Every structure is written in C-alpha cells, then in structure tokens.
Structure 1
Amino acid sequence: MSSLVQKGLQISKNVIFNVFLQRAGKLLGKPFRVAVVLREVAAKLDDNNSPKGALQQIADMGRTLVRLVSAYITGSYRHIEGSTIVAGLAVLLYFLSPIDLVPDFIPMLGLLDDVALVSWFISKFAGEITRFREWESTSAVSASGVAPAPANSDRSLPAVAELGHS
C-alpha cells in the first residue's frame, strides 16, 4: 500500500494534477456542477466491471471522499480546511477524467494511477476523513433521534420495550 501512496504523491506533484487543482478551485463555487461530478464519480466507483477485492477498501474511501465533498458543498459539514476540499475535489476530477497520466482505457493500468492518487489523498488527510466519518455517524443519530442499528444486530430478538422493560 505504501508504494501506492508514494505513486500518488508523485502524481499529486505532477503538472497534470495542478490543472485538476485549478479546475477544482474554480468548480468549488458552483455547487450544482460539483454535484454532477460527484454523481459521475460515484457511478464510476460502483462500476461492476471495475476490479474488486484488494481495491475495495480504496473504492470505499473514494465513496467517503464523495460524501465529504458533497457535505461540504451542501454546507452540512464545514469542519475542514478549504484547501483539503479543493485537493479532494481535484482527486475526484482526476479520477473521473479519461485524460491523465495513464489513460483509463488501458486495462488495469488505466485505473492504477487513479487508485494511487486516491490512496495518497487518504493517507495525507486520514485525520480529516476519520473526523468526517465520526461526524457522519453522530449526525445520523442527531438527524433521526435514533442511533442506527449495529450491523450485526439480531432482529429476531425482541426490543427491551417489548419485554415490558422501559
């Protein structure tokens, strides 16, 4: 994984990525256009033809990045530096673009630079992503007033109130 992060760091310093940083900075003031980009990135991440397995964790983090930028754009999450959002949006734009260091139409290799850049972003901004995920889990509780059920909860057991306890 560290070699992917190092490759991503190299890409982040490339002139081509600077073009995406500038584009992201300009795009940030246009929430509707950002929403379109986010939908397209999410669709690309969910592509059934994409390689799965070891890359699944990176795809999940990519989805988290999509949610993070979306929450920032809608104004529901602002506990993050603007430069981090610009970098995140630039990574998503790079991921979406067929024109990058290794064109996406080249099987497997075409996605490797995209995955490397996402890996770099995740490693560089791990603390920001962790804080966002914590905010997501607590905001889900505050929005609904009910904590989400644990993933391994057994629905066959009666709730405490059903047992006559309150």
Structure 2
Amino acid sequence: MRFNRKKILDFFRKSENRAALILDDKSKASSTIKDALGKAITNKGELEGVWAKMLLLFGVAKDYVNGEYTEIPKRSIVAILGGLIYFLSPLDIVPDFVPLLGFIDDIFVLNLVYKQVLKDLEEYKVWKDAQIKIIGNINDPAAT
C-alpha cells in the first residue's frame, strides 16, 4: 500500500471545511469531539505514539467548544477539529480496518495538526496548568 501524501492532505482539507461548519454548532462540535475520543480510547494501543498529543488536542478542542478557553486562533481550532474529523472517518485514505496500517494516515494528519498549532498548544498548556493550580488551591486552602 502506497502512502499518498497529496490525497491525505486533500482529504484533510475537506475535514477542515467540515470543521469550520461544525464549530458554529456547539452540540455537533461536542458530539464530534466525544465520538473521536471514544474511537481513540478504543484504539489506544495503535495510537500509542501520538496518544499524549491527541489528549492535548482533545483537551483544547473541548475547552474551546465549552467556552472555557477561547484564546486560540480560530484557524488553529479549525485545524484541530479537522484533524479529529479526519481521525473519526473510518473510510479515509487508508481505511481504519486495514490491519497494521489502518491508522497510519490518521497519525500522519494528527502529527501534522499538532506541529501546525504547537505554539497555541503550548499556550493552552500554560493556561490549563494554571487552572489546575487554582482548583487545587480552592480545594486545599492551606496550600496558598
């Protein structure tokens, strides 16, 4: 099976276009993120190399859609949601049911998205860590 980068990128661009539309409907966006997370958990073993990156992508997408974190450029959140939509599609360039290779294109796209929005993800992590610290201090007033 040949890895066709152009076809994958074309399919990903279509996923980004869908993501831009879905973002206008918080319910659909939340459902898409939830479905993609469920698929990721089910296939965690095959995604081990990108698991930590995926968790970060899921986290920022969820916090954005919930209105908790909006400091990320829209083009970045569209790319992230587009990557999750691509991942969610069972019949993308390399169908997910193909043994050993089914997730190779998904991993390629998710790594591409991660690199594309890395600066925004680093800023999100700083924000998220601060939120966790604030919540920890609220739960343990002696910690302040």
TM superposition score category, shorter chain reference:
0.7 to 0.9
Residue 69 (structure 1) aligned with residue 64 (structure 2):
no
CA distance in structure 1 between the aligned counterparts of 2:28 and 2:54, rounded to whole angstroms = 19
User: How far 1:145 moved relative to its partner?
Assistant: 2.6
Q: Report what 2:135 is aligned to.
A: 143
In 2, distance between residues paired with 1:136 and 1:14? Answer: 30
- Greater share of helix residues, 1 or 2? 2
Query: Given the alignment, which residue of 75, 80, 87 partners 2:72?
Result: 80
Q: 1:12, CA displacement in angstroms? A: 8.6
Other-structure match for 1:111: 103
TM superposition shift of 1:142? 2.0
Which residue matches 2:26? 31
Equivalence for 2:36: 41
1:80 counterpart SS class = coil
Q: Of the candidates 29, 41, 51, which is equivalent to residue 45 of structure 2?
A: 51
Could you tell me which runs of 5 or more consecutive residues in structure 2 were left unpaired when the two chains were aligned: none
Partner of 1:46: helix, strand, or coil?
Answer: helix
Q: Rg: which structure is higher? A: 1
Equivalent residues of 1:11, 1:117 under 8 A apart: no
Q: Structure 1: any 5+ residue segments left out of the alignment? A: 1-6, 149-159, 162-166
TM-score under structure 2 length normalisation: 0.85
Where 1:14 maps in the other structure, the secondary structure is helix
Instruction: Give the CA deviation at 1:14.
Output: 2.7
Runs of 4+ residues deviating >6 angstroms? none
Q: Share of identical aligned residues, percent?
A: 24
- Look up the match of 1:128: 120
SS at structure 2 position matched to 1:84: helix
Match of residue 83 from structure 2: 91
TM-score normalised by length of structure 1: 0.74
Mapped contact 1:95–1:114 kept (Cα < 8 A): yes
- Aligned-partner Cα distance in 2 for 1:72–1:143: 19
> How far apart are 1:57 and its partner, in Å?
4.5
Q: Secondary structure at the match of 2:103?
A: helix
Counterpart residue number, 1:19: 14
Q: What displacement does 1:67 show?
A: 1.0
